[in-house]
Homo-oligomer: A and B are copies of this chain.
Amino acid sequence: MEKVRIGIIGIGGMGTSHAKNIVAGKVPNAELTAVCDINAERLEWAKQSFGDRVQRFDQADAFFQSQAFDAVLVATTHYDHPGLAIQALNYGYHTLIEKPAGVYTKAVREMNEVAQQSDKVFAIMYNQRTNPVYQKLKDLIDSGELGDLKRSIWIITNWYRPQSYYDAGGWRATWSGEGGGVLLNQDPHQLDLWQWMYGMPKRVRAFMSFGKYHNIEVEDDVTAYVEYENGATGLFVTTTGEAPGTNRLEVSGDRGKVVIEDDKLTFWRLRVSEREFNREFKGGFGSPECWKCEIPTPGDNSQHIGIMNDWVNAILHGTKLIAPGVEGIKGLTISNAMHLSAWTDSWVDIPFDEDLFYEKLKERIDQSTFKKNVHNVTLDVSGTH
């Protein structure tokens, strides 16, 4: 195989953006050979844009049976990610799914079981893992520079969305269409990065408002407190209702503190560890000597294009993936635990009861009386996700 032939299923906002990038040559070892969508207008757009060199399908089964490609990019709505990934893998296609991995972990666990038995390359579009500042923070944590972790606070409130965003798609911000709000649509990257750098929490206590700032039925404001096995704590604060919002990650450990803000990483490094200072120092008032270090974070943030190239390289050359598809369940587990905690107004231990989560989600879908005032529009998402 010289070039990987790619079929994209779902050419709404994100799928369209990926299709354009591939056709523009930004994934040199790949070519777009097919697209699939149930929306006739989107297929017409594909015909106008790409002509007949890209096959078009309006049904998933025909798409998968076509063998018009080697690899499938799944960019449909969230609920369909696990089912379509399972189909793709079972047909023998390499598979890349958009985030989130799915809406509830039960379905994602089934997808992972199929993926683990497949020899195909299975990846997820966690395109923030290519960001050098988060790679560097992971490096500082993994290499022990920060020492034992104490606290992590991520204020990620710069996902502002006005009402017209929600009005642009009938599936958006509904329990039946997305299965959640800001946690399912905007935050999967941060939830993944959080566990990627910091590990999984052992329990979660979350507080949410549903439709606080918008005419929607799902959450648009979340505050979540978590505890880790070693006693460290964490906070995750997010909303689509604040402008201008903040994206500030603070991580503290026994050997200092890191803050990432404005895409810049600063490390306040303690010369001796705090635990050691605490034991040894006899002066009453005092604190460990601390150096403010500006840490270089070289490299470009290649984002979606980086993840597509990484996937294609893994297919062609067997290289290790930046974002293996089976890891998609981790961020979703935190997300589901937050929802379950808010719905039950109580602590949720991880792992939680996946059947209970699904039951509670289903209740919300079944009891929804929400009718959207929809203007179906394919939003230009370039640079937003």
Contacts and interface: CB of A to CB of B under 8 A. Distances in A.
A165 interface: yes
Contact of A163 (B213, B235, B245, B279): B279
Interface in A114-129: none
A205 interface: yes
A270 interface: yes
Contact of A225 (B223, B245, B384): B223
A197 interface: no
Nearest to A155: B153
A214 interface: yes
Nearest to A257: B244
A160 interface: yes
A244 B256 contact: yes
B257 A242 contact: yes
Interface stretch (A26-34, A79-87, A103-111, A284-292): A284-292
Contacts of A237: 151, 153, 235
A241 B165 contact: no
Contacts of A379: 284-285
A284 B166 CA distance: 8
B162 A290 contact: no
Nearest to A380: B285
Contact of A155 (B157, B168, B227, B250): B250
A333 interface: no
Nearest to A290: B244
A259 B242 CA distance: 14
Interface string A225-245: 101000101010101011111
Contact of A274 (B209, B225, B235, B241): B241
7 contacts: A151-B242, A160-B274, A162-B284, A213-B278, A241-B278, A243-B290, A244-B257
Given A162-B278, A235-B235, A241-B278, 15 more contacts: A153-B155, A153-B237, A160-B274, A160-B287, A161-B285, A164-B283, A165-B285, A213-B278, A214-B278, A241-B274, A243-B256, A243-B257, A244-B290, A246-B257, A284-B377
Interface of A: 150-151, 153, 155, 157, 160-165, 168, 205, 207, 209, 212-214, 221, 223, 225, 227, 231, 233, 235, 237, 239, 241-246, 250, 252, 256-257, 259, 268, 270, 274, 277-279, 281-288, 290, 377, 379-381, 384
